[in-house]
Amino acid sequence: MSPPRPAVVWDPRFREYDFGPGHPFTEASRDLAVRLLRASLGPPGIGRFLWVDRLDSAEGLLRRFHGPEYIEYVRQASDRGDRAYLDLGDTPSFAGCFGAATSLVAGADRAVHHALDTGTAAFHPGGGLHHAGRSGASGFCVFNDVAVAIADPVANGRRVAYIDIDAHHGDGVMYGFYDSGRVLDIDFHQDGRTLFPGTGFPPETGRGDGAGSKVNVPLPPGAGDEAVLPLFRRLVPPLLDGFRPDLIVLQHGVDGHAGDPLTRLQYTPSAYVEVLRTVVRLANAHCAGRLVVVGGGGYRPETVSRVLARAGRILGGVPLPDDGESLPEGWRSEYAAETGVEAPARWATPLRLVRSPWREQDEARLVRELEDALGRKFPASPPEPPRPR
C-alpha cells in the first residue's frame, strides 16, 4: 500500500461563496492559488498530493457548532435570494449562500478527518472563516468551517491546537471554545483597537475548564516579520509542549502581508514560510504529522495566490521556488482572465515596507503581559545559530 499523501481540498462549488462584485472577499483568489500550485508542480509533484474535489453534504454537521435558529435564518435568506445582511453590515446573504457556506464546512470537515485518519497534512485554502459565531455571521464569514469541523473531535476528547496568523483576531473560534480546555487557541493579529473585530487582548485567556488555554498576541499597525517571528518562536513551541495536541490547525490568513488593502501589518512571504515550516515540525513532533491548514483572509489576489501556493508546496514537501523564478505562463493567462489585470511575473515581487514601530522593549512588554495573564514564563529564545549560506 502506498503511504498516505497530504490532501488538497478544493471543490469547484467553493466559488459559489461569492458576495458579488466589489466585495473584498473572493474565493477566486484561493482558486488561483490551487491552480498555481498545480501548474507549478508538474505531474510527479501533482502525484504527491491527494486532490479532494468533491465533498459530501455537511448540512447535518452545522449543529455541532451553530445554533438551530441561526442555521434556519441563513437557509431562509439563501432561499429568498435577497441581499439582507446576516450581520451588522459586512456579510450580505445571496441566493445559494447556505449551500456555498456549507460546502466550505464540508471541506474543513474532510480536511480534519484526513489529518486525523492518515497522520498527514490537509490543506483547505478556501476555508478559515474564523469570525462566524455560534448564532451569527460576522466579517465575511457565514458558517465557521473550522469550528464545526473540530467540534466533534473535541467533544470526543481530542485536543486541538488552533494557531491563527490572520491579521484579524479569530474571535468566532476563540469565543466558540472559550470554556474548553481541549482547544488551545494562539492568535497573532493586528491590535483590536485598530482593526475589526476589536477583540483578542492578552487578558482574554479562557474561562472555566478553558482557563489559560487562549493566548492573544496583538501587534501594532506597521509591525511585520521583525515582530511576529521572534514572538512565534518564543511562544508557540513551549505552549504546544505543555498542551500535547492530537491535531494542529493553522489559520494561515494572508491579509497580514504587506500591501493588503484591509489591514496594516506588513509580513513578507518569508514570514509565512517560517511559520508554516515551524508548524509542520511541531505537528510531526507532537501529533504524528496531523495538521490542517486553512486559507483564511487575504484581499490582494496576487499575494493570496502566490503565498498559498507556496504553503501547499511546503505541505507536500516540495522544494520552494526562488523568489525570482518566473510563474508558469499558462497560469498567468488564467490570472489575467480571472482578475482583469496583468499577473505577477515572478514568485515574489520586491515590497515597499514602511518603517516598523516595533522595538525590542515592545516584545518584552507584551511577553510580560502574557506571562501575567497566563501565570507562566516564556524565556527569551536563544540566539539563532548562523545558517550556512
Cβ atoms 38, 124 nearer than 8 A: no
Please identify which of the residues 114, 124, 131, 168 carries the catalytic annotation: 131
Q: How far is the CB of 241 from Zn ion (least distance, A)?
A: 28
> Which segment (5-13, 24-32, 79-87, 289-297) binds Zn ion by CB under 5 A?
289-297
Q: Classify 306 as helix, strand or coil.
A: helix
Respond yes or no: is residue 252 known to be catalytic.
no
Task: Determine which helix (DSSP H) or strand (DSSP E) holds 216, and give its type and residue range.
Answer: strand 214-219
Q: How far is the CB of 141 from Zn ion (least distance, A)?
A: 10
- With respect to Zn ion, which residue has the nearer C-beta, 166 or 171? 166
Binder of Zn ion out of 126, 200, 295, 297 (CB under 5 A): 297
According to CB under 5 A, which residues from 153 to 172 bind Zn ion? 166-168
Decide: is 191 part of the binding site for Zn ion (CB under 5 A).
no
Binder of Zn ion out of 92, 253, 301, 316 (CB under 5 A): 253
- With respect to Zn ion, which residue has the nearer C-beta, 136 or 256? 256
State which amino acid sits at residue 216: N
169 — phi, psi (to 5°)? -65, 135
> Is the Cα torsion angle 375, 376, 381, 382 positive or negative in sign?
positive
Distance CA 165, CA 47 (A): 29
According to CB under 5 A, which residues from 310 to 339 bind Zn ion? none
Q: Which residue is nearest to Zn ion (CB)?
A: 297
Q: How far is the CB of 371 from Zn ion (least distance, A)?
A: 27
Region label for 244, one of left (φ > 0), alpha (ψ between -120 and 50) or beta (otherwise):
left
DSSP string, 317-331: TPPPPPTTSBPPHHH
Span between the terminal Cα atoms of the chain, in Å: 39
> Which segment (87-95, 201-209, 253-261, 330-338) binds Zn ion by CB under 5 A?
253-261
Q: How far is the CB of 167 from Zn ion (least distance, A)?
A: 5
Cβ atoms 185, 213 nearer than 8 A: yes
Distance CA 257, CA 255 (A): 5
Decide: is 255 part of the binding site for Zn ion (CB under 5 A).
yes
Decide: is 246 part of the binding site for Zn ion (CB under 5 A).
no
> Which segment (81-89, 120-128, 229-237, 246-254) binds Zn ion by CB under 5 A?
246-254
Q: How far is the CB of 375 from Zn ion (least distance, A)?
A: 30
DSSP string, 177-209: TTT-TTEEEEEEEE-TTTSTT----TT----GG
| Active site residues per annotation | 131
Q: Which residues bind Zn ion (CB under 5 A)?
A: 166-168, 253, 255, 297
